[in-house]
Amino acid sequence: MKNNNGSMPRELKMIILFILLMIVIGIFFWREQSRLSNKNNTLSINGQSVDIQLADTEKLRYQGLSGQKKICEFCGMLFIFPEKKVENIVMRNMNFPLDIIYIDENKIIKIDANLLPEGENPNTIYSSEFPVDYILEVNSGFTDKYNINIGDEINFNFKK
């Protein structure tokens, strides 16, 4: 389909450009979703395996689990920090309560259990109190149900 001058009509060029743009956007979202996916990203505590989403960028750490409706019983989010320091967590725009597990290297150093969701402007700040490499968020009650305690070791089953 060509014009009288031998070129493609403008409308056809626009359709092709639109299709290419949708393909590029689709690839971007697929790659980002694959990165966030918990497939092959696990850790274990006291023999209990946890499928994890990784929060390894500033943007992902800020977002955390905010806005998600729920996570599965054996799922969580692992916040990976670029340097070991005291870290703070808030329950901004959460839809379900959490247990927060603070990790130094591969040992649990603190647990904040049964934390309630807060809205857009949370009032409560939860602190690791000590420098940490990681923070693991799991469903509220997980640490009690699976006897997770300070001093327990974390076995990471993914490339850090």
The pLDDT tens digits for 64-86 are: 999 899 999 999 999 999 999 99
Cβ proximity of 102 and 128 under 8 Å: yes
pLDDT of residue 128: 97
86-107 confidence digits (pLDDT tens): 999 999 999 999 999 999 999 9
pLDDT interval class at 9 (50, 70, 90): confident
Query: Band of the pLDDT at 119, cuts 50, 70, 90?
Result: confident
Dihedral, CA of residue 79, residue 82, residue 86 and residue 89, to nearest 10: -30
Q: Does residue 12 carry a pLDDT above 80?
A: yes
43-156: CATH topology is: Jelly Rolls (2.60.120)
Q: Which whole-number Å values give the CA distances from 14 to 1, 4, 25, 61, in the listed order?
A: 14, 18, 16, 38
Digit-coded pLDDT (tens) for 123-149: 999 999 999 999 999 999 999 999 999
Q: Is 84 exposed, middle or buried (0-12, 13-18, 19+ CB in 10 A)?
A: middle
Q: Which residues, other chains included, contact 9 with Cβ-Cβ below 8 Å and sequence gap of 6+?
A: 1, 2, 3
107 residue type, one letter:
K
User: Where does the pLDDT of residue 38 fall: very low under 50, low under 70, confident under 90, or very high at 90 and above?
Assistant: very low
> pTM of the predicted model, to two decimals?
0.74
Domain residue extents for the chain: 1-36, 43-156
| pLDDT score at 6 | 62
- Percent of the chain predicted with pLDDT > 90: 67
